[in-house]
Amino acid sequence: MADYLDDLRLAHVLADAADAATMDRFKALDLKVETKPDMTPVSEADKAAEELIRGHLARARPRDSVHGEEFGVAGSGSRRWIIDPIDGTKNYVRGVPVWATLIALTEAAEGGYQPVVGLVSAPALGRRWWAVKDHGAFTGRSLTSASRLRVSQVSALSDASFAYSSLSGWEEQGRLDGFLDLTREVWRTRAYGDFWPYMMVAEGSVDLCAEPELSLWDMAANAIIVTEAGGTFTGLDGRPGPHSGNAAASNGRLHDELLGYLNQRY
């Protein structure tokens, strides 16, 4: 862990700064919101938080590159920070507290940059989660006040809780029938959305989750937290990691069945 301990500490510093900035504008009556070309919203807080993180990284890790949702890729090299300043912007702009800043450090590897540090900070929920490659996943207020994360041991779909974001994306991809068949097989379904179901998989309170269309910044931090908690994180194609443009996460025991249903009529 010595190789990444300073990076993990830095990720917490970055999250502290982002939390202060985003909470300062959360529920602000004069919050400015624009629509991006992909028709998704972006607020002034998204941009400010990413600029703040980039500024910290430029000073603390000038040799590392950065890939953020709002301002793209800057720099090159074997280490790259992946930033989603506000995951759950639609919630943020409506005053719903389920949103978070996602920070991941990745290193160049076969198949693309792979996460080695991940942190998810949800200040409006008062929660934070993090992980380091080969050293486990944790949740707590700080590095010194944390508990270890472990996925559930549920091994039957009939006992499983399945979380998702919405129905429309599955329908657009022609996967809705398989998705609905899965919802009929599991014990419970809830549409939490965004980062939260992945954190609940890591905590063991949810057993399965999946989304049909995502970007790298949506997944990099989530992927390492789930896997370091003992779970499995892949694309719908079964490829490990955050590079498939979509995601399936589970406690591992149910992963093949999860993928089977979501791909059965595709």
pLDDT at 33: 81
Nearest to 262 by CA among 245, 248, 244, 243: 248
pLDDT at 238: 96
Once rounded to an integer, what is the mean pLDDT over residues 112-116?
92
pLDDT at 250: 98
Ranges 62-66, 71-75, 225-229: which has the least confidence: 71-75
pLDDT at 266: 57
More confident residue, 80 or 24: 80
* C-alpha to C-alpha distance for 233 and 215, rounded to whole angstroms: 14
Burial bucket for residue 12 (CB in 10 Å: 0-12, 13-18, 19+):
middle
* C-alpha to C-alpha distance for 255 and 176, rounded to whole angstroms: 18
Burial code of 123-138, b = ≥16 C-beta within 10 A, e = fewer?
bbeebbbbbbbeebbb
The DSSP line for 41-85 is EEEHHHHHHHHHHHHHHHHH-TTSEEEETTTEEE--SSEEEEEEE
Its CATH class, for the domain covering 4-144, is alpha beta
All CATH 3.30.540.10 domain ranges of the chain, comma separated, are 4-144
Q: Percent of the chain, pLDDT > 70?
A: 97
Contact status, residue 170 vs residue 212, Cβ threshold 8 Å: yes
Ranges 39-43, 77-81, 193-197: which has the least confidence: 39-43
Please state which of the four CATH numbers 3.30.70.20, 3.40.960.10, 3.30.2290.10, 3.40.190.80 is assigned to the domain occupying 157-263: 3.40.190.80
For 35-49, the pLDDT digits (tens) are 767 667 777 888 989
Q: How confident is the model at residue 227 (pLDDT cuts 50, 70, 90)?
A: very high
End-to-end CA distance of the chain: 41
Burial bucket for residue 210 (CB in 10 Å: 0-12, 13-18, 19+):
buried
User: How many separate helices (H) and strands (E) can be counted in the chain?
Assistant: 8, 15
pLDDT at 27: 80
Once rounded to an integer, what is the mean pLDDT over residues 102-119?
94
All CATH 3.40.190.80 domain ranges of the chain, comma separated, are 157-263
Read off the tokens for 157. 């779909």
